[in-house]
């Protein structure tokens, strides 16, 4: 019986987190052909494909999704063992900003993956509304931050893209309601302007009955049946329905979740934290589709 080689697993993790064979190969300093060959060897050992092509990149198959957390844990433990045995202790402080709506589900995984490798690094984590994170990076109050934008700039690395949509409670239909009750993000968020633009394009009266600074706040209003709301498709669940096209709303943008750092310099703790963040949010992106399919359209 063949064994799962840790080198094959490391290549698999790199490609999975990058969403591309080319980018994954760059991360592990291999050629694209050598990386593709390793993926084929892994699939030969498993007897099943771990990736399928999607546009210019790749996405995980069901086998790949099952293997990814195992491969991440194995490679992380091997890296931690190497650090411990070689007595390479990294010390210092890292200040991280994570948006509260995304942070609750993934912050624990990010921190756990990081601490396994760098137990001597002091983490200062800000889990809050992310609209102020870019300014905090510029001021030097944060070293690394994750936040949402509509249009990324050159130094912002896109972790995943989340199309927005209008949703309502499964139990209610606001098609004939005038004015249409709406739950929106606080005016400090770019989502607010995007929602108003979409509402105005409809050309029918609406009334803002609820405002919140968070996704969970908007979802709570929608679930309570008091309004429709604009959210990302990754936040869909069985209690929510995408509002039908017959409502006539204007188009809504795609939100980009980005990763940015204070400056171009990257320490070892910084690189490890960025890898942990990529892994956590890449896994989230892989499961977003299943949540969308579970929502009632």
State yes or no: cis peptide before 262, omega within 30 of 0. no
Please compute the mean of the pLDDT values over residues 130-152 and round it to a whole number: 90
Identify the band that residue 284 occupies on the pLDDT scale cut at 50, 70 and 90: low
Write the DSSP string, the chain: -----HHHHHHHHHHHHHTSHHHHHHHTT--HHHHHHHHHHHHHHHTS-SEEEETTEEEE-HHHHHHHHHHHHHHHHHHHHHHHHHT----EEEEEEEEHHHHHHHHHHHHHHHHHH-TTEEEEEEEE-GGGHHHHHHHTS-SEEEEEESS--TT-EEEEEEEEEEEEETT---TT-SSEEEEEE-TTSHHHHHHHHHHHHHTS-EEEEEEESSHHHHHHHHHTTS-EEEEEGGG--TTEEEPPGGG-PPP-PEEEEEEEESSS---HHHHHHHHHHHHHHHHHHHHHHHHHHHSB-
Q: Are 258 and 148 in contact (CB under 8 A)?
A: yes
**Residue-level pLDDT at 262:** 83
Contacts of 100 (CB under 8 A, 6+ apart): 127, 128, 129, 130, 214
Phi, psi of 121 (to 5 degrees): -90, 130
Read off the pLDDT band of 294 (50, 70, 90): very low
pLDDT tens for each residue of 214-234: 888 899 999 999 999 999 888
Question: What backbone phi and psi angles, to 5 degrees, belong to 169?
Answer: -70, 145
Q: Are 258 and 158 in contact (CB under 8 A)?
A: yes
pLDDT reading at 283 higher than 70: no
Report the chain's mean pLDDT, rounded to a whole number: 83
128 compared with 62, residue with greater pLDDT: 62
Q: What does pTM read for this prediction?
A: 0.63
Average pLDDT over residues 270-276: 82
Per-residue pLDDT, 295 = 39
* pLDDT confidence bin for 272, thresholds 50/70/90: confident
* pLDDT band per the 50, 70, 90 thresholds, residue 290: very low
CATH number of 161-254: 3.40.190.10
Which band of pLDDT confidence, cut at 50, 70 and 90, is reported for residue 86?
low
Q: Where are the domains of the chain?
A: 6-85, 89-157+256-294, 161-254
Phi and psi angles of residue 57, each rounded to the nearest 5 degrees, phi first: -125, -155
- Comparing CA positions, the residue from 97, 64, 93, 118 lying closest to residue 277 is 97
What pLDDT does 297 receive? 34
pLDDT tens-digit map of 137-146: 999 999 999 9
User: What would the two tokens of residue 277 be?
Assistant: 């963040």
- Please name every residue paired with 95 in a beta bridge, in sequence order, or none if there are none: 124
The encoded tokens of residue 91 equal 């010390």
**CATH for 89-157+256-294?**
3.40.190.10
Q: Are strands 228-232 and 240-242 parallel, antiparallel or unpaired?
A: unpaired
Q: What is the pLDDT of residue 121?
A: 85
> What confidence tier does 33 reach under pLDDT thresholds 50, 70, 90?
very high
Please, what CATH class does the domain formed by 6-85 belong to?
Answer: mainly alpha
Q: What is the band of 296 on the pLDDT scale with cuts at 50, 70, 90?
A: very low
Domains 6-85 and 89-157+256-294 share a fold: no
Asked whether the predicted pLDDT for residue 60 surpasses 90, the reply is yes
């Amino acid at each position: 019986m063949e064994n799962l080689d840790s080198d094959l697993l490391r290549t698999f993790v790199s490609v999975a987190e990058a969403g591309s064979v080319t980018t994954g190969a760059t991360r592990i300093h291999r050629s694209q052909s050598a990386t593709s060959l390793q993926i084929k060897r892994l699939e030969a050992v498993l007897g099943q494909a771990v990736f399928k092509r999607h546009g210019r990149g790749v996405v995980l198959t069901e086998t790949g999704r099952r293997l990814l957390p195992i491969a991440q844990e194995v490679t992380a433990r091997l890296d931690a063992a190497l650090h411990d045995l070689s007595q390479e202790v990294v010390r210092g402080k890292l200040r991280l900003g994570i948006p509260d709506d995304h942070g609750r589900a993934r912050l624990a995984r990010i921190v756990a993956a990081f601490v396994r490798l760098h137990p001597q690094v002091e983490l200062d984590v800000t889990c809050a509304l992310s609209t102020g994170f870019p300014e905090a990076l510029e001021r030097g109050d944060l070293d690394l931050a994750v936040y949402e934008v509509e249009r990324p700039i050159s130094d912002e690395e896109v972790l995943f893209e989340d199309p927005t949509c209008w949703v309502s409670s499964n139990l209610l239909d606001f098609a004939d309601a005038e004015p249409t009750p709406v739950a929106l993000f606080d005016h400090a968020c770019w989502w607010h302007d995007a929602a108003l633009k979409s509402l105005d394009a409809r050309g029918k009266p609406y009334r803002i009955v609820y405002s919140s600074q968070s996704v969970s706040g908007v979802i709570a209003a929608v679930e309570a049946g008091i309004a429709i709301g604009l959210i990302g498709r990754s936040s869909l669940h069985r209690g929510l329905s995408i509002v039908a096209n017959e409502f006539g709303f204007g188009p809504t943008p795609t939100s980009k979740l980005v990763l940015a750092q204070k400056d171009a310099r990257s320490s070892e703790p910084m690189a490890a934290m960025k890898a942990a963040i990529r892994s956590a949010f890449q896994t989230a992106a892989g499961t977003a589709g299943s949540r969308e399919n579970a929502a009632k359209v």
